[in-house]
Amino acid sequence: MQEHPDIDVLISEVGPRDGLQSVKSVMPTEAKCAWITAEAGAGVREIEVASFVPPKLLPQMADAAEVVAHALKIKGLTVAALVPNFKGAENAIRAGVHKISLPLSVSETHSKANLRKTHEQVLDEVRRIAELIRSLPEDQRPGFEGALSTAFGCTLEGPVPEDKVVQLAAALMEAGCNEVGLSDTTGYANPAQLRRLIRLVRAEVGEDRLSNVHLHNTRGLGLANALAALEEGITTLDSSLGGIGGCPFAPGASGNIVTEDLVFMLDAMGINTGINLNRLLKVREIVQEALPAESLYGFTPDAGLPRGYGRGGWGLGQEAA
Rounded Cα gap, residues 74 and 246, in angstroms: 27
79's CB contacts (< 8 A; 6+ apart) are: 47, 49, 68, 71, 72, 96, 97, 98, 99
List phi, psi (to 5°) of 238: -85, 145
List phi, psi (to 5°) of 162: -65, -35
| CB 243 within 8 Å of CB 13 | no
Closest CA to 144 of 110, 106, 109, 179: 179
Rounded Cα gap, residues 141 and 212, in angstroms: 20
Burial 66-89 (b: 16+ CB within 10 A, else e): ebbebbeebeebbbbbbbbbbebb
175's CB contacts (< 8 A; 6+ apart) are: 123, 126, 127, 130, 146
3-state secondary structure of 321: coil
Point out the catalytic residue in the list 33, 154, 177, 247. Answer: 247
Rounded Cα gap, residues 39 and 279, in angstroms: 8
3's CB contacts (< 8 A; 6+ apart) are: 269, 270, 312, 316, 317
Q: What is the CA radius of gyration of the chain?
A: 18
For this structure, is 154 an active site residue?
A: no
Active site residues: 247
